[in-house]
Amino acid sequence: EDQVTQSPEALRLQEGESSSLNCSYTVSGLRGLFWYRQDPGKGPEFLFTLYSAGEEKEKERLKATLTKKESFLHITAPKPEDSATYLCAALGGGGGADGLTFGKGTHLIIQP
């Protein structure tokens, strides 16, 4: 059974204080690792897709990286508007179907 574990569950940072969120996965035949941002009461917003170990993607203050066992979301000099829950999801297996397995998320708070 595919599993995704995110840590920490919650993280409080000062504005400008860089940090990293972790996503560990156990997936048979990884076909993609996805990061989403979710604001309270809203649907997840797509951020990145990573397909193979060593791949990196960047968007503004966020950078996602992937190894064979985990992915990291690095946040550089965050601002209060970066406060949200960050979700990691894995797509595994074959057969062409695309049901994502999600972690529980990391609740990030950036204090001014």
Partner 1 sequence: DAGVTQSPTHLIKTRGQQVTLRCSPKSGHDTVSWYQQALGQGPQFIFQYYEEEERQRGNFPDRFSGHQFPNYSSELNVNALLLGDSALYLCASSWNSEQYFGPGTRLTVT
The pairs formed by 51-58 with CB atoms below 8 angstroms and a separation of 24 or more are: none
Three-class HEC string of 78-105: CCHHHCEEEEEEEECCCCCCCCCEECCC
Q: Does 10 bind partner 1 (CB under 8 A)?
A: no
Contact residues for 58 (Cβ-Cβ < 8 A; gap 6+): 64
Quote the least distance from Cβ 74 to partner 1, whole Å: 21
Q: Which of 39, 23, 45, 7 is nearest to 101 (CA)?
A: 23
Question: Does residue 11 touch partner 1 according to CB under 8 A?
Answer: no
Stated length of the chain:
112
CB-wise, 76 or 101, nearer to partner 1? Answer: 101
Least distance between partner 1 and beta carbon 88 (Å): 8
Residues 52-91 as x/- pattern, contact with partner 1 by CB under 8 A: -----------------------------------x-x-x
Task: Find the binder of partner 1 among 29, 54, 96, 112 (CB under 8 A).
Answer: 96
| Residues making contact with partner 1 (CB under 8 A) | 4, 31-32, 34, 36, 41-46, 49, 87, 89, 91, 95-105
